[in-house]
């Protein structure tokens, strides 16, 4: 891409907001005053060339010089604060809140060279030039840099053929050991392929082989879940997860990890605020994904993927309900209610979406809110001695409302009299 074309894209308000461009120029000006070449790299450049708006993109700024020095200068000039990682000479600049800018942070990176000593572990790094920094990246389409400082603004560095790959709609790794060095790149490839409708080049697919899958098997639960979370965030999550299953990646993570049922795709954003149940796409996704598993398998996978306790509970609860549903079908509303009360509301909603069992919806919208008029204080004033009878009587009264045996205060009062005599 020629410089004038890059400048045209950078000045297109449909792709990049004018205030974002001003911020980038300010960063570049400061870098120029420090005499360090400054680039924006990665997804921002990829999406800009694809003419996709970069309003929500991360800003990854790479300098051939010290990113921490640039960070300190930015804070001194514009405010905000830095989170520093001195080992990698990188920093996150947290913009001052007065900027009111999305994203609220900018990554500042010292151009570096990486080497992997142990497959799947984090790399050893040393400061270097931009060409080396691009070489350490995952795919050519993510390994392009757009220079920002001074008269160089708009110069595209594409030594690895990223633009050609974008045109061919292709994803490929930069070297044969790429997936061995870092098997999370397999997830990234599949995620981008699904998002952009790209193909993964055959030679790259061949590298998702036994050796790479074995390393994947030993990857930490946290890193795996992070990749799966990012996939679930995407519109095209079902395609990506199906692709991972076809490549044998899911069973390599854990033999019990099932394929994702794409018929759930439309419900990922369906958490229903009106019913008082809310969840993000990730929680919804894992609930649908693991719903048909046994309790023991849910726990195995939750441990493998390092789920939080809250997520484990929702997913376990959904599976428990889904599998137990046949035993509940002919029960009375009160029995449904007392069973469902032990489960998380969002998991009940997820099972409702997949089974359309109307009792689940009635529970969420109505039954769970039904309470008798009589309270513990009323029972006390009737002289009932403290003890388990309180709970029993209140439950019986609630059941009477739920099951239609009481439909007025008078019905409830008559039942209470009978119960007090028992
Ligand atoms: P998106 O956020 O749309 O997925 P992105 O390119 O911003 O795209 P990030 O995960 O923020 O994605 O990564 C930023 C850049 O860092 C990538 O474009 C790529 O160049 C590099 N990168 C990220 N993860 C890896 C990895 N596992 N191996 C090599 N390079 C990576």
pLDDT tens digits, residue range 369-388? 999 988 888 888 888 888 88
The verdict on the CB of residue 223 being under 6 Å from ligand 1 is no
- Percentages helix, strand, coil for the chain, rounded to the nearest 5? 55, 10, 35
Percentage above 90 pLDDT, the chain = 76
Q: Domain holding 188: CATH number? A: 1.10.110.30
**Domain count within the chain:** 4
Q: What is the pLDDT of residue 192?
A: 98
User: What CATH number has the domain bearing residue 142?
Assistant: 3.30.460.10
Tell me which of 262, 278, 299 is where a domain ends: 262
Which ligand 1 atom is at minimum distance from the Cα of 181?
Answer: 28
Could you tell me the pLDDT band of residue 265, with boundaries at 50, 70 and 90?
A: confident
Judge contact between 26 and 149, C-beta under 8 A: no
Q: Is the pLDDT of residue 293 over 90?
A: yes
Centroid of ligand 1 to alpha carbon of 139 (angstroms): 9
Q: Are residues 406 and 331 in the same domain?
A: no
At residue 405, the pLDDT reads 87
Mean pLDDT of 314-337: 94
For the stretch 93-104, pLDDT in tens is 999 988 878 889
The residue nearest atom 24 of ligand 1, judged by CA position, is 138
Residue 83 phi/psi, 5-degree rounding, is: -105, 120
pLDDT tens profile 127-139: 899 999 999 999 9
364 Cα–ligand 1 center, Å: 41
In terms of domains, do 254 and 186 share one? Answer: yes
User: What are the residue ranges of helices labelled H in 101-232?
Assistant: 130-135, 162-168, 178-181, 184-196, 202-206, 210-217, 221-232
Of 115, 148, 167, the position where a domain reaches its end is: 167
Q: Is 114 in the pocket of ligand 1 (CB under 6 A)?
A: no
Residue 269 predicted with pLDDT over 80: no
Q: Among residues 223, 243, 262, which one ends one of the domains?
A: 262
Question: 159 and 29, same structural domain?
Answer: yes
How confident is the model at residue 272, as a pLDDT?
73
Same domain, 175 and 111: no
Find the mean pLDDT for residues 409-422.
Answer: 85
Do residues 15 and 133 both lie within one domain? yes
| Residues 178, 80 share a domain | no
Report the candidate in 136, 144, 147, 178 with the shortest Cα–Cα distance to residue 160: 144
323 and 294 Cβ atoms separated by less than 8 Å: yes
Taking residues 29-38, report their average pLDDT: 95
Same domain, 117 and 9: yes
- CA dist., res. 199 & res. 136, Å (int): 22
Distance 319 CA to ligand 1 centre (A): 34
- Across 220-224, 230-234, 412-416, least confident range: 412-416
Residue 142 Cβ inside 6 Å of ligand 1? The answer reads yes
Model confidence over 185-201: pLDDT tens digits?
999 999 999 999 999 99
Range 394-404 average pLDDT: 91
Q: Which domain holds residue 324?
A: 269-369
pLDDT of residue 225: 97
Is residue 181 domain-shared with residue 145, that is, in the same domain? no
In 3D space, the residue among 56, 50, 67 whose CA is nearest the CA of residue 16 turns out to be: 56
The answer on 303 and 248 residing in a single domain is no
pLDDT at position 277? 83
Distance 60 CA to ligand 1 centre (A): 9
> What is the model's pTM?
0.91
Two tokens, residue 221: 């639960």
Is residue 269 within 8 Å of 299, Cβ to Cβ?
A: no
Predicted confidence band at 336 (pLDDT cuts at 50, 70, 90)?
very high
CB-CB contact of 93 with 106 (8 Å)? yes
328 and 207 fall within a common domain: no
Mean model confidence pLDDT for the chain = 92
* Section 51-65 average pLDDT: 93
Same domain, 89 and 17: yes
- Which numbered atom of ligand 1 lies nearest the CA of 184? 27
Q: Give the position, in ligand 1's atom list, of the atom nearest the Cα of 42.
A: 18
Q: How far is the CA of 188 from the centre of ligand 1 (A)?
A: 8
CB 90: neighbour CB atoms within 10 A? 20
Residues near 11 by beta carbon (within 8 Å), at least 6 away in sequence: 21
Q: Are residues 174 and 160 in the same domain?
A: no
pLDDT in tens, 157-190: 999 999 999 999 999 999 999 999 999 999 999 9
Strand spans (E) along 186-328: 199-200
Q: Using a 6 Å cutoff on CB, does residue 178 contact ligand 1? A: no
Q: What is the pLDDT of residue 260?
A: 93
Residue 39, pLDDT above cutoff 90: yes
């Amino acid at each position: 891409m020629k410089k004038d074309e890059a400048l045209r894209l950078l000045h297109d308000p449909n792709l990049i907001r004018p205030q974002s461009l001003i911020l980038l120029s300010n960063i570049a000006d400061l870098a120029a005053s420090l005499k360090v070449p400054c680039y924006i790299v990665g997804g921002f450049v990829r999406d800009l060339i694809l003419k996709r708006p970069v309003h929500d993109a991360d800003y990854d700024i790479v300098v051939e010089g010290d990113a921490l020095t640039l960070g300190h200068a930015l804070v001194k000039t514009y405010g905000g604060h830095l989170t520093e990682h001195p080992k990698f000479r990188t920093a996150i600049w947290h913009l001052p809140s007065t900027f009111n800018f999305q994203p609220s942070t900018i990554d500042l990176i010292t151009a570096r060279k990486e080497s992997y000593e142990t497959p799947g572990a984090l790399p050893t790094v040393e400061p270097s030039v931009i060409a080396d920094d691009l070489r350490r990246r995952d795919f050519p389409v993510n390994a392009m840099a757009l220079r920002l400082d001074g008269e160089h603004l708009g110069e595209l560095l594409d030594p690895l053929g990223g633009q050609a790959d974008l045109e061919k709609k292709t994803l490929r790794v930069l070297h044969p050991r790429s997936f061995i060095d870092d098997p999370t790149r397999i997830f990234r490839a599949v995620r981008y392929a699904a998002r952009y409708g790209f193909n993964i080049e055959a030679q790259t697919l061949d590298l998702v082989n036994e050796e790479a899958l074995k390393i994947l098997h030993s990857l930490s639960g946290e890193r795996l879940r992070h990749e799966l979370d990012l996939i679930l965030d995407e519109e095209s999550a079902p395609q990506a997860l199906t692709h991972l299953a076809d490549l044998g990646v899911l069973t390599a993570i854990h033999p019990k990890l099932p394929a994702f049922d794409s018929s759930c795709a439309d419900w990922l954003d369906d958490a229903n605020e009106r019913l008082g149940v809310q969840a993000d796409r990730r929680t919804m996704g894992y609930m649908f994904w693991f719903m048909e598993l046994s309790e023991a398998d849910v726990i195995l996978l939750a441990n493998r993927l390092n789920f939080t306790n809250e997520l484990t509970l929702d997913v376990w609860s959904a599976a428990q309900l889904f599998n137990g549903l046949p035993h509940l079908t002919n029960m009375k509303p009160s029995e449904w209610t007392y069973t469902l009360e032990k489960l998380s509301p969002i998991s009940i909603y997820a099972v409702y979406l997949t089974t359309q069992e109307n009792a689940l919806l009635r529970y969420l919208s109505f039954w769970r809110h039904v309470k008798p008029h009589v309270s513990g204080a009323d029972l006390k004033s009737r002289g009932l001695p403290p003890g388990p009878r309180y709970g029993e009587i209140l439950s019986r009264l609630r059941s009477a409302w739920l099951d239609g045996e009481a439909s007025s205060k008078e019905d409830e009062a008559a039942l209470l009299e009978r119960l007090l005599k028992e």
